[in-house]
């Protein structure tokens, strides 16, 4: 990968006049609600929003479409190192939060297919792939005023983040959300298949050797199984305020 451009916010860092947390890490398992929370929080704060999962998904999509076997670690790592991933403001009004380009191809929706879901855990477990992605993510976060969402943001990518949130929900509820998302896009999906894929992904993401999904020791856990997005946002905004940083 050569570069990732994040242009989702025009906010410029000025810590002298803005005492809010400058880096907010949001981690959690698939479909826990972390992207919705992170995106909305970033918009309300005027911060940059960066969903790091799109990078691992773009590499997985590229491997699948270029006939690179996802179990070939060396080939997938080489692909990750040369793939040009860009994340830009939405270029099409179709409900997307941003546009993702992989070597110039708009893959925003192509990276959300069940096929990518089925392979992305394998790809994201490769140390070389993670090295390439994490280096890029740290460069993007260096300017501050960012809400970065993923699995290892609070533990590995930004261990000194000013606020760390860990968003969780039961696996059944998360599978139900993912199943609804796929249906809303007009694609076929069987709930039991989605649930099985979700359990598999949880297993791989939590037990891989490099940067497994886990709660950072200084993270605040938000459980979204029974809370709607407004409830979760309320809690997150209160946490931002508690650190001496009112939300406008």
Q: Which residues pair with 101 in a beta bridge?
A: 86, 106
Q: How far is the CB of 241 from ligand DC (least distance, A)?
A: 26
Binder among 177, 201, 219, 224 for ligand DC (CB under 6 A): 201
Binding status of residue 124 toward ligand DC by CB under 6 A: yes
Binding status of residue 120 toward ligand DC by CB under 6 A: yes
SS (H, E, C) 121-168: HHHHCCHHHHHHHHHHHHHHHCCCCEEEEECCHHHHHCCCCCEEEEEE
210 vs 156: CA distance, rounded Å: 10
Instruction: Give residues 43-62 in contact with ligand DC (rule: CB under 6 A).
Output: 52-53, 56-57
CB under 8 Å to 201, separation ≥6 — which residues?
Answer: 29, 30, 117, 120, 121
CB closer to ligand DC out of 39 and 150: 150
Q: Is 221 helix (H, G, I), strand (E, B) or coil?
A: strand
CB closer to ligand DC out of 145 and 177: 177
Query: Which of the ranges 40-48, 92-100, 116-124, 162-170 carries the binding residues for ligand DC, by CB under 6 A?
Result: 116-124
Binding status of residue 152 toward ligand DC by CB under 6 A: yes
Gyration radius of the chain over CA positions: 17
Query: Which of the ranges 81-89, 98-106, 119-127, 185-193 carries the binding residues for ligand DC, by CB under 6 A?
Result: 119-127
Q: Which residues make up the interface to ligand DC (CB under 6 A)?
A: 30, 52-53, 56-57, 120-121, 124, 150-153, 201, 205
């Amino acid at each position: 990968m050569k570069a990732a451009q994040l242009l989702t916010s025009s906010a410029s860092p000025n810590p002298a006049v803005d005492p809010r947390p400058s880096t907010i890490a949001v981690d959690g398992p698939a479909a826990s609600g972390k992207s919705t929370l992170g995106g909305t929080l970033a918009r309300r704060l005027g911060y940059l929003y960066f969903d790091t999962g799109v990078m691992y998904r773009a590499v997985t999509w590229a491997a699948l479409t270029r006939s690179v076997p996802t179990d070939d670690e060396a080939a997938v790592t080489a692909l990750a190192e040369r793939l040009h991933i860009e994340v830009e403001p939405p270029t099409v009004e179709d409900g997307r939060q941003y546009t993702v380009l992989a070597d110039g191809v708009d893959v925003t929706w192509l990276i959300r297919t069940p096929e990518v879901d089925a392979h992305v855990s394998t790809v994201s477990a490769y140390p070389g792939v993670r090295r390439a992605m994490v280096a890029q993510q740290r460069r993007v976060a260096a300017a501050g005023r960012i809400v970065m969402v993923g699995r290892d943001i609070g533990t590995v990518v930004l261990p000194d983040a000013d606020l760390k949130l860990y968003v969780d929900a039961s696996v059944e509820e998360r599978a139900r959300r993912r199943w609804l998302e796929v249906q809303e896009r007009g694609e076929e999906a069987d709930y039991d298949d989605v649930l099985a894929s979700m359990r598999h992904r949880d297993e791989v993401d939590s037990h891989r050797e490099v940067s497994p999904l886990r709660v950072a020791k200084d993270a605040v856990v938000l459980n979204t199984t029974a809370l709607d997005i407004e409830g979760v946002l309320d809690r997150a905004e209160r946490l931002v305020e508690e650190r001496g940083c009112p939300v406008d």
